[in-house]
Amino acid sequence: LDWVTLILTQLASTGFARSAKSIRFSRVLKILRLSRMFRLPKLFKIINGLQYWISGDIMAAGLKVLVWILGILFVNHFIACSWFALGTADDGIPSWVDTVRKFYKEHTEYEASEWYMYTTSLHWSLTQFTPASMEVVPVNVYERVFTVITIFGALVAFSSFLSSITNEVASLRLKRRDHTNNQAQLVRFLSQNRVSLELGGRLQELAQLQQVESSRVRRVHEKDVILLQQMPSSLKDQLRLEVYGPILRDHPLTRTMGILCVSAFSRICSSALSQQSLLPNEELFAFGDEAQCMYFVVAGKMVYHHGRYLATEVVKLKPSHIFEAEESLCEQVLVFEWRHQGLLTARMLCEFVQLDAAVFRDTVKAHVDLTAFFRSFGKHCVETLAKEERRLTDQNVENQLTCCLISEVLYKRGYTFESESDDADTWTWLHRLTSS
């Protein structure tokens, strides 16, 4: 904005303002000068936003280096403005501004423009931070004191800027070197063990993809935040309820649990849920594995192949289902023991929440009403699936069927949709799903 204002001021001094009265040129200049006071917060906000969204080590490191360079230029801009203001102070003594203007007029026969004076000030400021030199020197005691103070400040500031840029570039080089060494080890292993070209190529391609995707992880998990570990348990429980509560309420079974017993629902949120990540083509479970968790997909896509398959066998097969954000699977593990009926892998970088079935069952057993409800639900679920001769799969039962089973169990236990309670809207929601 300072540069734009300077350019417009220069244009105004050359007569451009007279041809621009229709746009109120002088008022525009005043607004630009006033808006300079509000640029810093916006600048830092924009930079932080870009740093959060930019993916990849190279782009992130490049942005940080650019920020430091802009920081150096920003500091020098203010020093240059202060240096020029000191030189134009009307106190009756010679100044560097008088010297430069006199020198410029002697050699060009014209008066030095404001743009020339600004660039000269900026040039002088940059020379105080670097070993460079120029023809501008202080000519009075005030300018000499200002120069000494600037040099001492530059010793500290420039060293900090330079070390930060060096450390960022060195860190990037170290990451790239580790990646290159890992790739070389993989190639040597494949070569020494005479792995086929097809399989070796797929392994190298997958390793490269995982390396790229791992550098793009931007979602922070609770376990990664050290400061949260020092918080009181009551606050952490409240935090987990707000984080995980909306996820559980998207599923009819866990939402109904929250209606029947709020304390059990809160305990599940505080002790049975955790956030996890999955890299591309990474396997979450395979056929025959003992199921231990129910999964809620938060971001990304997961590919499910029903049946006894290995990861190397499903590359060209059509998936049985692709799980996307806001979908869940393996709800069966909450009601009875379960073994996975297929293979689940990540198609891209995935974020999901897993519900520990063992903790869930222990929490349910501590409440008589919940125990009776889940036993009845499990019994009705098995009978319905056997009656319809459905194949066993890790996919959840359709929401409509689940809600029908829930409403049937609740009706037999004396609950009605017309119940006057704080959760009347939830009963309406359940009734709408069962009758749709």
SS3 139: coil
* 234 vs 238: CA distance, rounded Å: 6
* Cβ 330 vs Cβ 294: under 8 Å: yes
> Residue 129's pLDDT is what?
83
Residue in this structure with the two tokens 């097809």, named with its chain if needed: 198
Residue 424 pLDDT exceeds 50: no
* 352 vs 326: CA distance, rounded Å: 9
Q: What is the mean pLDDT of residues 371-392?
A: 80
> Residue 240's pLDDT is what?
92
Query: What average pLDDT is seen over the chain?
Result: 78
> Residue 223's pLDDT is what?
85
Q: What is the mean pLDDT of residues 155-179?
A: 81
Query: Pick the residue with more confidence: 8 or 257?
Result: 257
* pLDDT tens-digit series, residues 12-70: 555 444 444 444 445 444 444 544 444 555 555 555 555 444 445 667 777 777 888 88
Percent of residues, the chain, with pLDDT higher than 90: 13
Residue 200 pLDDT exceeds 50: yes
* Tokens standing for residue 420: 């006057």
* 369 vs 259: CA distance, rounded Å: 12
Q: From 228, 208, 87, select the one nearest 144 (Cα to Cα).
A: 87
**Range of lowest pLDDT (9-13, 48-52, 340-344, 385-389):** 48-52
Query: Pick the residue with more confidence: 401 or 253?
Result: 253
* 93 vs 386: CA distance, rounded Å: 101
Q: From 308, 306, 316, 305, select the one nearest 345 (Cα to Cα).
A: 305
Q: What is the mean pLDDT of residues 168-181?
A: 80
* pLDDT tens-digit series, residues 209-224: 666 666 555 678 888 8
* Tokens standing for residue 50: 């870009």
Sign of CA dihedral 227, 233, 235, 238: positive
Quickly count: other Cβ atoms within 10 Å of residue 256's Cβ. 26
* Cβ 146 vs Cβ 82: under 8 Å: yes
SS3 130: coil
Q: From 304, 300, 255, 306, select the one nearest 280 (Cα to Cα).
A: 300
Using pLDDT thresholds of 50, 70 and 90, give the confidence band for residue 413: low
**Range of lowest pLDDT (121-130, 194-203, 333-342):** 194-203
Residue 325 pLDDT exceeds 50: yes
Question: Which DSSP string corresponds to 361-417?
Answer: HHHHHT-HHHHHHHHHHHHHHHHHHHHTTPPP-SBPPPHHHHHHHHHHHHHHTT--T
Which of 2-11, 151-160, 327-336 has the largest mean confidence?
327-336
Helix H segments across 193-214?
A: 197-214
> Residue 29's pLDDT is what?
47
Residue in this structure with the two tokens 């979908």, named with its chain if needed: 327
Residue 366 pLDDT exceeds 60: yes
**Range of lowest pLDDT (33-47, 142-156, 363-377):** 33-47
* pLDDT tens-digit series, residues 80-90: 988 888 888 76
Residue 245 pLDDT exceeds 80: yes
